[in-house]
Structures are given as C-alpha cells and as structure tokens.
Amino acid sequence: MMIVAAFRSEWVKLRRPNLLVGTYAGLALAASLFAVLLFAQAPATGRGGLPSLAQLAQPDGLIHGVNRAAVLLGVVAFGIAATQIASEYSLGTLRQLLVRQPRRVILLAGKFGAVLAFMLGAVVFASLVATVAAFVMAHARHVPTAAWTSSEGLADLTRALGDLLLATVGFTVFGLVVGLLFRSSVTAIIVGFAYLLPFEAVVTRIVPNTATWLPGQLLQSVAIGGQQTAGFAHSLILSAVYLVVAGAVATVVFVHKDVTA
Amino acid sequence: MAAQDAAPDLAVVTTGLTKEFGDRRVVDDLDLAIPSGSVCGFVGPNGAGKTTTIRMLLGLIRPTRGSGRILQGDLDHPASYLARVGALIESPAFYPSLSGRDNLRALVRLGQLAPSAIPEVLERVGLADRAGDRFSRYSLGMKQRLGIAAALLPDPSLLVLDEPTNGLDPAGIVEMRSLIRSLADEGMTIFVSSHLLSEIEHICDHVVMIRSGRSVFQGSVAELYGMRSSELVIRPEEPAQLEGLAVLLSRRGLTAQIDASSGTVVVSDAVALAGSLNRAAFEAGIVIVHLAERERSLEEAYFALTGTHSGDVEAVGALGGIQ
C-alpha cells in the first residue's frame, strides 16, 4: 500500500501538463517523423541502408520505423528518469518526501514505478501515433498494408513493441541510477547523454567487439530485437545483470546517504 | 537520563547526540529534553548545528553517536514517529511548476493522509485564494506559509520549524509568531529554531541554546531571564578620560568596555562596587558625572552564552548587525 501511495504521489508531478504533453506529444511527433521520412525516402527497390517499398509491404514492414526510433526513445526515457530523481535533490524536495515517507526503499520503488509507467505509456502512445502515420504514408506511396494486419504482421508488431518497452525499462532504470548518483539533473543528463551517444559510438567504432558488452549498445540491441554484434537473448540477460547491480548500488547509496540538500 | 527512558511528558529527548562530517564535529554530545506541549526555541548562531540537529531528529541525517526518543518513538527508526511530526526544514522546498495545492496533494498521497487536510491547512495559513497558483509565482512569504501548511498536513503532535521567519518582512514575522502561538494553544509541541533570540523569545516558553554544536543553556524562558546579570554604566566628565577609566577598572580585575558613541564605560558584574569605583576614579583625577546600574537585555545574555565568533555571525557583526 505504501508503494502505491509513493507511486500516486509521484504521479502528481508526472502528470503536470508541461511534462505530460511535452513528453507524449514530443515522442509521438518524433516517432511519426521517423515513419514519415522512412516511407518518403524509401526506394522502389532496395539500395543503401533504407528498406525498399517492397520490403515495407512485408508483414514486418511496420516495425522498420519503430526500430529507427529506438535510440531516441531510450535517450528521452533516460533523461526524464534522471531528471525526476536528481531534481528532488536540487530542489530540496527530497527532505519533504522523506519526512512523509521515511522508508526510503518504498519511496524509491514508488518513484521508480511511476516514472516507468509514465515512460512506458509515452512509448506505447508514440508507437500508436507512428503506426497511424505509417498507414497514412503507406497509402500515399501506394504500399499495400494487408500484410501488416495479418496474424504474422500483428505478431511482429507486438514483439517489436515488447522489445522496445523492455529497452525503455532499461533506459529508465539507467536514468534513475545516474540521477541518484549525481544528484544534479544537469550533470546526470550531460554525463548520461555523453556516455550513451558519442562515447559508446566512438568506442564501438574503434573496437567493434565492445558492442557485445557496453550497456547502451546492449539496450539498443534489445530495443530492435537483437543485432549481429549482440543477439537479443545475450543483450537482454547482460543488460538485466548490469541494471540489477547498478540499481542495487544506487538503492544502497540512497538508503544510507545523509540528506543534506 | 538515557533517551530510552524518556518521560512521557517529554516530546523530544536525546542523549549524547553527535554528528561528525569527516573530521568536523557539527553536533557535539547534545542532550535535549523538550517538554510536551511547549514552544521550544532552538537558538544559536548560524553554523551552530541547529539544522543538522533538526535533520537528525527527522531521520534525514544519521547521528554518528547518541540516542533519542521523539514522541516515544526511537530516533533510529524515524518511521515510528514521523507520521505524527510536521516539519519545515530551512527554506520551503516545493516543485516550482506545480500549484500550491498540487504540491500538498503529492505529500498527502505519499503520507496516506486525508485529502480534506489540504483545504484546511491552506485556509489556516491564508493561502486558500492562491492555492491554484504555481509555486514559482508565490512571494517569499507565501512560500513560507505553504511550507507551514505542508508541515500541518498530518495534524502533527510535534511541529519542527527551522528558521520559519527567514526572509519574512516584519508583518510576516508577526503573522508567523501569531500562527505559532495559536498552534501551541491547541496543545501542539513546537520546536522552532532561529539564529535570533529576539524573533522567538516572545512565543517560546522553553529555550535550548547551542554554540558550536554543544548546548550552552536549556530551560524555561523564566530561567533564562533569571540568568541576566547587571552591568554598571559609567560616564566621565571628560570623554578623553574614557581610556584612563577603562585602564583603572581593568587593573581592578573588572571587564570594562568603552562605548565611545555614548561616552561611557560599561563594566560587567560590578554593581556592588559602584561606590569604591567612584572613589578610585576621583582619586585618579577622573570626575564621574553618570554612574548607573543597567540590566542586560535577553539578547545580550544570549550573546554572552552563544558568543559572536562563529561562522556567519562574525561576518554579520563586522557589518554592524551585532555588537
């Protein structure tokens, strides 16, 4: 019950219009843009890195756009989660919260649950809007969509969405851990983004083998159902190990650290 | 008295409460005994350890040593008593983009309190009309009042207020005093900190004074008044003789301070020696034109106990805020 109370308390903050509309609409727009561009730029036959119109007409045609939006969704999930926890320190609101709920693990669990629910909702919403955009663009470019709604197509879509949600859980936990450890929204976001985007990209380009164990690469692999460098099962298991360890360290720090902010 | 054996008529008891940050001891072997139903002032210069003590009582900071009982709950298990405690710690901290009402709603939900408490506390602190406004649009006084409202949400038995008059204008300070007094009249125990005794002496019936993390006085305000000592104010006929008079008094083992602005020398604890000092001054060629006993103010007694040489106070003194 206390975790539910902590969840509902956090939800009061998450549902504020700026954050709710900004995140849901922003992600939906971005995911839709990926779908629109994918269909707009798709060649009649395969060339370059883009799927062809014929490939887009396949049962898994709908998930090409979803896969390309995975990194963006992950980065947003990370940023929001890191900000939600770190701002409690910078605003000084954590002391208010801990007076009302001194059981710190419960407070953290409720907060985590609420941020996770918020982000999963945003990803589902963005996926739905992007799917609608894909149907519109398919119609515009005369791509048949019957295969998308076949049982095979719906299974592909469900699996892709499930993978994306799993990766969102990972990026959200990653954001919460970094926010807890740095206790400053700005620092957490700078460090997290710098790590997830340029750092890992550079390292994997220089030493391709590192993609099999770098956490950001693993989460991206989970988001798109596995890739050549790291299979889905490997990525999922190793990501889970990383996140459990990081979550445990952050929880211990949160529970035992004095609150002087 | 061990904290474990706290008398039921004491809302807060600590024994040997100590907090060290690295090599720095911020709170040093502090024994508190705050009577239930009292308004207890917690006074000391900035940096004396007031906020750290309050944070330890609220479970935000772990004591390095010592024990305590708050509302009969164990200090080591804040969950055993915090449901009956309301607190305003330093400046009021809320989410800027949420309204005052929603800020309180977040706390009500977290503490599993009755939602009906929100309009009640907003009414009580005079914020009912502005409850829908964003916190970021509140004036400093309104923010402080929202902080009090948040502290009142659980209808607490113990209210802890850390510098509640900080940043308030004189009217706001009067309002805050009146609010504290009215809460005390309802039987609530109130533990209120301030670095200025004058701000809270009129509303407190119990006082704890600390300096450098250690208690220097603890008792009723009546006892504190009883501790005030008298001093002798002496004015020589010639202002040029102030220095000579001070030297004469010092040679007799007295503590004499020159107050050039009033042309007097102030001597502590020398009322009984007035006659002999007058005679000695005359024999030294100094004519005394004014010699009178003056009782030290409570504020002066406070500074005598807490000193003026700690942290921020020294800086304020240099600016002329404190003599």
pLDDT value of position B317: 34
Q: Across chain B, what does the average pLDDT equal?
A: 87
Q: pLDDT, tens digit, for every residue of A212-233? A: 999 999 998 998 888 888 899 9
pLDDT value of position B313: 39
Pairing between strand B10-21 and B288-295?
unpaired
Percent of chain A with pLDDT over 70: 99
pTM, 2 dp = 0.83
Residues 6+ positions from B196 with CB-CB distance below 8 Å: B43
State yes or no: pLDDT of B177 exceeds 50.
Answer: yes
Chain A CB within 8 Å of residue B132 CB? no
Q: pLDDT, tens digit, for every residue of A19-43? A: 999 999 999 999 899 889 988 888 8
The answer to whether B239 and B245 are in contact (CB under 8 A) is: no
- pLDDT tier for residue B8 given thresholds of 50, 70 and 90: low
Q: Where are the domains of chain B?
A: 3-222, 230-295
Tokens of B284: 């030294």
> Topology of B3-222 in CATH?
Rossmann fold (3.40.50)
> Topology of B230-295 in CATH?
Alpha-Beta Plaits (3.30.70)
Q: Across chain A, what does the average pLDDT equal?
A: 91
Measured CA angle at B242 (ends B238, B246), to 5 deg: 145
ipTM of this predicted complex?
A: 0.89
pLDDT value of position B302: 73
- pLDDT tier for residue B137 given thresholds of 50, 70 and 90: very high
Q: pLDDT, tens digit, for every residue of A50-66? A: 888 888 888 888 888 77
Tell me the three state secondary structure of residue B157. Answer: coil
Chain A CB within 8 Å of residue B59 CB? yes
Q: What is the 3-state secondary structure (H, E, C) of chain A?
A: CHHHHHHHHHHHHHCCHHHHHHHHHHHHHHHHHHHHHHHHHCCCCCECCECCHHHHCCCCCCHHHHHHCHHHHHHHHHHHHHHHHHHHHHHCHHHHHHHHCCCHHHHHHHHHHHHHHHHHHHHHHHHHHHHHHHHHHHHHCCCCCHHHHCHHHHHHHHHHHHHHHHHHHHHHHHHHHHHHHHCCHHHHHHHHHHHHHHHHHHHHHHCHHHHHCCHHHHHHHHHCCCCCCCCHHHHHHHHHHHHHHHHHHHHHHHHHCCCCC
Q: Do A260 and B61 touch (CB under 8 A)?
A: yes
Q: What is the mean pLDDT of residues B49-67?
A: 96
- pLDDT tier for residue B63 given thresholds of 50, 70 and 90: very high
Q: Where are the domains of chain A?
A: 2-256
Q: What is the mean pLDDT of residues A249-254?
A: 93
Query: Looking at the partner chain, which of B62, B98, B150 has a beta carbon nearest the beta carbon of A96?
Result: B150
Burial A27-47 (b: 16+ CB within 10 A, else e): bbebbbebbbebbeebeeeee
Q: Do A9 and B62 touch (CB under 8 A)?
A: no
Chain B CB within 8 Å of residue A22 CB? no
Please state, in angstroms and rounded to a whole number, the distance separating the CA atoms of residues B12 and B84.
13
Query: Looking at the partner chain, which of A13, A103, A258 has a beta carbon nearest the beta carbon of B61?
Result: A258
Q: Do domains B3-222 and B230-295 have the same CATH topology?
A: no
pLDDT value of position B115: 96
